[in-house]
Chains A and B, each alone.
Chain A
Amino acid sequence: MKTASPSTASIVFVVDDDPSIREALSSLIRSVKLDVETFSSAQEFLQHDRSDRPACLVLDVRLPGLNGLELQQRLIRDGVHLPIIFITGHGDIPMSVRAMKAGAVEFLTKPFRKRDLLGAIEQAIERDQEASAQRKDLDELLARYDSLTPRERQVMGSVVKGRLNKQIAAELGTAEITVKVQRGRVMKKMKADSLASLILMAQELGIGAGSEPWR
């Protein structure tokens, strides 16, 4: 497919079985300097390898084979986080409610205006960027946490609960000085500049009393 921007630019995927609609949407999206890739069915879209560029999906409800709503469910099940804008010839209220509840960004009825569609696409890509940034931060934090030794994780768990070094040493059956060294190593490895930021990180990771971190 045509790509008019560098690989870091956003991309819009279009799935519609009608070639006229596909061509028209492709032209319109490209005219606002967005990358676009079109597919004639859900199956074709699922077979496509995706990069992790910010993206969104413009999806026709009425499709041969797997329909739009079914594709949405399938993506959720597979853990693919992709904002969806539904378009339909004639939608009804129950259908749109179902789609929106499952996380759709917008539900547009054909024929729709440019500003409605482009507004929805803009919003969807923004949402995807935010979500992927969040996912990126968390990944980094997890990598840092993974680099801790088991003893350092024990110390970190106790520190974020507000225990003093002396208390921690008693709990772990070690010298207070040892705890102090390990605590300094945790702060460094986690790139925490203060106790407060370490506590925030612990919250992000979901480290509670005695529980394993989120993953």
Chain B
Amino acid sequence: MAALSVTAALILTMLALDLPSAVAQTAVKTPRTIRVVMDNAYAPYSFQSDEGKSQGILIDQWQAWEKKTGIKVEIHAMDWAEALRRMRAGEFDVIDSIVETSERLDYFDFTAAYTLIEASIFFRKDISGITDLASLKGFPVGVKKGDQHIDQLKAGGVTTLILFQNNDEIIEAAKQHKINVFVVDDPSALYLLNKAGIEREFRQSAPIFRDELRRAVRKGDATTLRTVSEGFAAIQPGELKQIDEKWYGRTINRIGVYLTYAGYAMAVALLLIAGLAVWNRTLKKRILQRTAALGESEQRFRRLVELMPVAVYVCDTSGVIQTYNHRAVELWGREPKFGDTAERYCGSLRLYSPDGKFVPHEKSKMAEALKTGVEVRDLEVVMERPDGSRITVLVNIAPLRKGDGELTGAMNCFQDITERKESENTLRQSERQLQLVIDKIPVMAWIVLADGSVDFLNQRWLEYTGLSLREAIKQPTSTVHPEDISRAIDKWNRHMAAGKSFEDEMRLRRADGEYRWFLVRTAPLFDERGNILKWYGTSTDIEDQKRAEEALRETQDALAHVARGSIVGELTGSIAHEVNQPLGAIVTNAEAGLTWLSDETPNLNEAREALHRIIRDGSRASEVVARIRSLLKNGRAIEIRFGVEEIIREIIALTQNEAQRRKVSVQARLEPNLPQITADRVQLQQVLMNLVMNSLDALTAVADRPRILTILAGTDSPSSIRVAVQDTGPGIDPQRMKDIFEPFQTTKPHGLGLGLSISRSIVQAHRGHLRVRRNDGPGVTFEFTLPVKGKSAI
């Protein structure tokens, strides 16, 4: 390297010798030294050689300037930021390779521009989508400290800037994968990327900045400005071009660099044969070494090609296959002979387009590329193998050219994407299926974004509401019933703010205007940081369920009414009449009989008739009583085994509405694992119903304390259970306590006073006991015991 630089310097020296200059003469008048500061890492303009020596276009140009003006040039190369700072501080006369900015105009005077520099975004090639400044947002971007573009980058929205001391450091960081994106002047970047050997790892955007390089002096230093400008103007354009070519030539590629140097060396050798003989020999030796290295490198390349997981082959211009790797053989399923003129363009048996059309080899993409010289990128082709199987491959074809651009053949690099295609197809199919499911499931499905705007509505939603997608997106809540809307929205907002799943019931308008009840459920989708991205929701039609529930509730009400009425209402009503009629007749007959006998002349016949009627009516009354007895006791009593907790739950269910209406809280305290009992289920249900209804009636009078009804069940003895109905009602007058179980004793205006008497009969028929006691607190407890084994078990 050093030797070559010296060579170059020699040429320049020779060229410079016979260039007389007016500037040089004026410069003699004011002999002095000029201090020039510049970047020490701004290749190829000014940068350090591997030995730490300043070199580059600017160095050479200033040497030329020195010759022209006779003014000694003192070059100071340093970090650009430092260079700017110290120039501002007045330490130097001239700063070179500076861009004019309005800010800098305040303290520098600038020369005319001497070159145009473009700056681009450089990015690692696996990053895509970087095309301009705007697309840089979000990427950490490497940039040189003091770079005039920093402000523009920031203004363009690029906030994450990683500042480096100089361009060398940027490239070094890029090489070490510390940064993936950077903005550097093109000449500098290309030179350094090549030098670092990573030029293929990076891509370059179109230029985003264009800057004119100038030289600048301290503000007001017109003399120096003029001296500098005139000095450069005196240098021949050809001479400047030579300097440019010398330095830019090095950036083509690394091998090219050496070839260029070799060219220079030859030229110099012709001029200075003797002096350069040694150099010539040295160069030859280096070229030989290089050639050997190239051979070695080709071998490495071959191995690499073999190892690559992609298939590669090369055709000459006539399409004859020159070489291929192992993977190509695997994919083709066959091994064409090298150089076989019958095997052209492709080693596969047959080719097809992705849609299944047969493509003859001579019409293949390879044939086309060889004809047109245009490369082919990422094209799908189907290959058929000798065993009949077909695979889909992704084809990349690059034409190969000699240095002069003449086409020598083409390389095809292809990979098997059959599996990928299949999984893509499967995915697409399952997506289609999912879409179908979502559209056809009998619920309305939807997605809204975190801000509440509609993201998706399934077909059902649109069908039900009859809205177009556009209408629905505009006003998704327009179908909610006016009475439900404010409550629903309120609930939504609350849950959405809390980020919690929730459900709600509301009426939604169908296309025909009818409102139906829906159960609306939603669940949030979070990102990995826990932010809500979307809400998934379903709306299920529950109108029919609602109606069924209502019907059930009505039936329950009716049943409770009937169950209660059947025992204390209709039955006892008729019983009372049946018993009362003969009793009334008996009393009247007895009075009549007495009157007939107490007459002065007793009418014995009439009295006898009355007595007969008393006997007849008395028998009739006892028949009625016997009938009731048989009905309640022996009649149709059916004993089955069941859990007493079952009927407790049934009674609670049956009386639920009644309790709610009377604002009574009904509680059940049931001992676990109660033994099952054998009894008449219906009769016991009637007893319990009667006790519960009595308590509810009693509790209605309570206004100053909670209305609580408790049903308790537990074991009484190993062979019997105990069921109690406890209330916090007003209790029972102590004087009445003893005869409340007697028939026709009642405190209720419409009661007949038979409920408790019949209940006791039923319990006694089951060999149990029904008792009442006052609570420690307010109210009373009715409690009955029942043997676990039924009465038939005696």
Contact = CB atoms under 8 A, between A and B. Distances in A.
A24 B583 CA distance: 11
Contacts of B594: 114
Contacts of B403: none
Interface stretch (B118-126, B183-191, B574-582): B574-582
Interface stretch (B141-149, B613-621, B638-646, B657-665): B613-621
A113 B606 CA distance: 19
B596 A111 contact: no
Interface string A4-48: 000000000000001011011101101110000000000000000
Contacts of B599: 31
A110 B580 contact: yes
Helix, strand, loop or mixed for chain A's interface?
helix
A111 B590 CA distance: 11
B623 to A, nearest CB: 13
B581 A24 contact: no
A21 B588 CA distance: 8
Contact of B585 (A18, A30, A117): A18
B616 A27 contact: no
Helix, strand, loop or mixed for chain B's interface?
helix
Interface residues of A, number: 20
B293 interface: no
Nearest to A33: B599
Contact of A21 (B581, B603, B606, B616): B581
Contacts, number: 79
A107 B238 CA distance: 145
Contact of B591 (A18, A21, A28, A30): A28
Interface string B589-627: 101111110010001001001100100110010000000
A114 B596 CA distance: 13
A20 B587 contact: no
A20 B620 contact: yes
A24 B613 contact: yes
Interface in B311-326: none
A112 B591 CA distance: 10
A79 interface: no
A90 interface: yes
Given A27-B596, A31-B599, A111 B589 contact: no
A18 B578 CA distance: 11
B584 A28 contact: no
A89 interface: yes
Contacts of B616: 20
B522 to A, nearest CB: 57
Nearest to A117: B588
Given A31-B606, A89-B580, A110-B580, A20 B613 contact: yes
Interface string A101-140: 0000000001111100100000000000000000000000
Contacts of A110: 580-581, 583-584
Contacts of B576: 89-90
B606 A111 contact: no
A202 to B, nearest CB: 49
A31 B593 CA distance: 8
A31 B613 contact: no
B592 A89 contact: no
B228 interface: no
Contacts of B595: 28, 31-32, 114
B586 interface: yes
A20 B621 CA distance: 12
B591 A114 contact: yes
A157 B70 CA distance: 167
A112 B577 contact: no
16 contacts: A20-B582, A20-B617, A20-B620, A21-B585, A23-B585, A24-B589, A25-B588, A28-B592, A31-B606, A32-B595, A89-B580, A110-B580, A111-B587, A114-B588, A114-B592, A117-B588
Interface of B: 576-577, 580-589, 591-596, 599, 603, 606, 609-610, 613, 616-617, 620
